[in-house]
Structure 1
Amino acid sequence: MTAYKHIFTIIWFVLAFVGLVLTLFVSITFGAKDLTLETVWSAVFNYNEHLTTHQIVHNIRLPRVLGALVTGVAFAVAGAIMQGVTRNPMADTGILGVNAGAAFAVALSFAFLPYLPYSSLIVFAFIGATLSTIFIMLLGSVHSSGLNIMRLTIAGAVVAAILQSLSTGVAIYFNLSQDLAFWYAGGVGGVSWEHLKLLAPIVVTVLIGAILMGRSITFLSLGDESAINLGISIKRVKLFGIAMAVILACSAVAVVGSISFVGLVAPHIARWLVGIDYRKRIIMSALIGAILLVWADFASRMVNPPREFAIGAMVALIGVPFFLYIARKERREM
């Protein structure tokens, strides 16, 4: 039986990887101007700056699609980690208010430091996300029984709503509404190679760290008592886990805006496919998160070309019903 499980796990990983590659080529090939696969292949591997079609692929579509891929990985892995360390199946950096904290910090940066480079913007986003996470954790732990799943989710939703309102107020007062409106709805249209050069190493480094911590997160997700009996330092795993989730979320938010539900949907699908082992679940979550966000971006471009639909809204079409399903399922089991 175990041998069959391993075989099926390998098959799912291969299918997810092939699906991601196909998704990338479809997203790069089709758009306001459809290109052939031969042109895309040539532009990627044999770039000629004098050809217009190569410029479209290299300067516009490739950074955009890779931006969707990397941020999809970031949001999905952050969600998987949050679900593991908090043992909250409804955890997602957007739902728990982490994205909103990062977004509020970015809004303040836009208002007071409009020419701030992306490297500095990540620092501000990290500070905002960290402060909002600490505050939400404190709110979720005020009861004598300690941290509670439902209180944590409600606290995250409340704090996210407050921070989004404050961000809107900042945008209106400083005449940033037009600049921030689409950014808050989420979009990868502005992703450049400069963003990717900084974002990709951060995401890859944290992803490797998360995989290495996967065994500890798996034991922690089974309960504190089980983790202690197996020699796991609960506080250290939670601290490092939440820190990694915050880094991933704020790095992605600083580039594409506050996109929710990727970190909710991808880890659950990953669990259905590869089980509860977080070493496998984190990798599968990364693949599914990348596929989901690349398809969401592709759909946002193709709904009403040449105009674009907000990518955050596209993800929410899947994420909201998924969230309600998980919430209903958890309520039944309580």
Structure 2
Amino acid sequence: MKLSAGLKTTSLLVLGVVLIILVGVLSVLYGTKSISYSTVWNALFHLDGDNIDHLIIRTSRIPRVAGALLIGAFLAVSGALMQGMTRNYLASPSIMGISDGSVFAITLCMVFLPGASSMTMILYSLAGSMLGAALVFGTAKLLPGGASPLSLAVLGTIIGTFLGGVSQALATYFQISQNISFWYNARLHMMDPALIKLAIPFAVVGLALGLMMARSVTMLSLGDETAAGLGLKVTVVKGLTMLSVVILTGISVAIAGKIAFVGLIIPHITRYLIGQDYRKIIPFSAFLGALFLAACDLISRFVNFPFETPIGVVTALFGVPFFLYLIKTRGGGQT
């Protein structure tokens, strides 16, 4: 028996919340260091500042899972917005060079403003995201056929690789490679709770803007001409949508470094589950993205236990086959 659309949506939402809670609890309970359940309970409700295990729970595991949930949601929403706006199944912040732009800007900040505040880092990361997006989409407009889905993906990869290469060259020349390595290879176990708090206001703005644009993005996904025929101001909507993407990607990179494939995989799964209406896709992508990245983080602790595997390796185990599947079946075709 088929479920009604409303019941299906509600069921998926409840299941998502339950799974997020389960993964969150497991992430706090388990890690490379074995900590008893009673100690975890006491760390949560009866903190002893002199107890190392309590401090691990409070200052490492809880911020880590909170950061993973938030970043997963931000990147998934960014990917969904990009895919809807460009009608490109291959669009995502990591593939389109936006994440690399953030890392590039953070590198410049660390070179020329050593000791910069966390807020300065966030602002540089946001500016870098904007730079990456401007370079990719600006170049696409200058090239014949540059706006096609596959061309955009190729341009994004090329420009992202270039920005990443320049970033690493600068880091090596100015001898800050060790300091900047966090942003090249995301390490969720080094999450800074203070940085997460600073990023929250930006995240609220980015998510609110994305939700406001959801109905318009649904219209854009039908094609620019169709959307314009329905009275949509295409240029304005695309600009505001990209602003949301830039904000969400920029703060994600500032908090935890570059993490690939979340924004590519999750929107596809979401559309498969709930359809093509971005008023549902955006919030559900946030739920699924949070769940996916938190689960990947949990897996990363046990792939090579007792050593931690970089989160990018785990997301790539899912993302690379999925990317190749999209290339084979859709060839970067439009949504």
TM-score exceeds 0.5:
yes
Distance in 2, matches of 1:104 and 1:249, equals 13
Q: Is the 8 A contact 1:107 1:170 kept in 2?
A: yes
Distance in 2, matches of 1:265 and 1:153, equals 15
What is the TM-score with the length of structure 2 in the denominator?
A: 0.93
Indicate the residue corresponding to 1:25 in structure 2. Answer: 25
- Written as runs of structure 1 = structure 2, the 5 A alignment for 1:139-154 is 139-144=139-144, 147-154=147-154
Distance in 2, matches of 1:293 and 1:165, equals 26
Matched, 1:16 2:16: yes
Indicate the residue corresponding to 1:264 in structure 2. Answer: 264
Matched, 1:301 2:301: yes
Once the two structures are TM-superposed, the CA of residue 40 in structure 1 deviates from its matched residue by 3.7
Distance in 1, matches of 2:332 and 2:112, equals 47
Indicate the residue corresponding to 2:99 in structure 1. Answer: 99
Give SS of 2:318's match.
helix
Distance 1:109 1:278, change over 3 A: same
**Aligned residues: CA RMSD:** 2.1
Indicate the residue corresponding to 2:278 in structure 1. Answer: 278
Once the two structures are TM-superposed, the CA of residue 301 in structure 1 deviates from its matched residue by 2.2
Distance 1:19 1:144, change over 3 A: same
Worse-matched range after superposition: 142-151 or 193-202: 142-151
Distance 1:230 1:175, change over 3 A: same
Structure 2 gap segments, 5+ residues each: none
Once the two structures are TM-superposed, the CA of residue 45 in structure 1 deviates from its matched residue by 4.9
- Written as runs of structure 1 = structure 2, the 5 A alignment for 1:1-334 is 4-37=4-37, 39-45=39-45, 47-144=47-144, 147-331=147-331
Q: Is the 8 A contact 1:139 1:152 kept in 2?
A: no
Once the two structures are TM-superposed, the CA of residue 269 in structure 1 deviates from its matched residue by 0.8
Once the two structures are TM-superposed, the CA of residue 222 in structure 1 deviates from its matched residue by 1.2
**Number of paired residues?**
334
Give SS of 1:111's match.
helix
Distance in 2, matches of 1:32 and 1:331, equals 41
Distance 1:145 1:307, change over 3 A: closer
Worse-matched range after superposition: 237-246 or 220-229: 220-229
Distance in 1, matches of 2:28 and 2:190, equals 15
One-letter amino acid matched to 1:116: A
Give SS of 2:67's match.
helix
One-letter amino acid matched to 1:204: V
Once the two structures are superposed, residues 139-195 of structure 1 have per-residue CA deviations (whole angstroms, 9 ceiling, x without a partner) of: 222245572111111110100111111111112111222233343111112212211
Distance in 1, matches of 2:45 and 2:153, equals 46
Distance 1:8 1:316, change over 3 A: same
Distance in 2, matches of 1:333 and 1:116, equals 43
Once the two structures are superposed, residues 2-27 of structure 1 have per-residue CA deviations (whole angstroms, 9 ceiling, x without a partner) of: 97122112111111111111010011
Distance 1:205 1:38, change over 3 A: farther
Distance in 2, matches of 1:315 and 1:174, equals 31
Give SS of 1:23's match.
helix
Give SS of 2:94's match.
coil
Give SS of 1:302's match.
coil
Distance in 2, matches of 1:189 and 1:300, equals 11
Q: Is the 8 A contact 1:105 1:127 kept in 2?
A: yes
Distance 1:222 1:44, change over 3 A: farther
Give SS of 1:309's match.
coil
One-letter amino acid matched to 1:82: M
Worse-matched range after superposition: 278-287 or 297-306: 297-306
Distance in 1, matches of 2:332 and 2:294, equals 34
Once the two structures are superposed, residues 253-310 of structure 1 have per-residue CA deviations (whole angstroms, 9 ceiling, x without a partner) of: 1121111110001111111111111111111111111112112222222233443221
One-letter amino acid matched to 1:154: V
Distance in 2, matches of 1:170 and 1:69, equals 32
Once the two structures are superposed, residues 65-124 of structure 1 have per-residue CA deviations (whole angstroms, 9 ceiling, x without a partner) of: 111111111111111111111111110100000000110111121222221111111111
Worse-matched range after superposition: 106-115 or 178-187: 178-187
Distance 1:130 1:8, change over 3 A: same
Distance in 2, matches of 1:151 and 1:119, equals 35
One-letter amino acid matched to 1:87: R
One-letter amino acid matched to 1:10: T
Distance in 2, matches of 1:192 and 1:56, equals 13
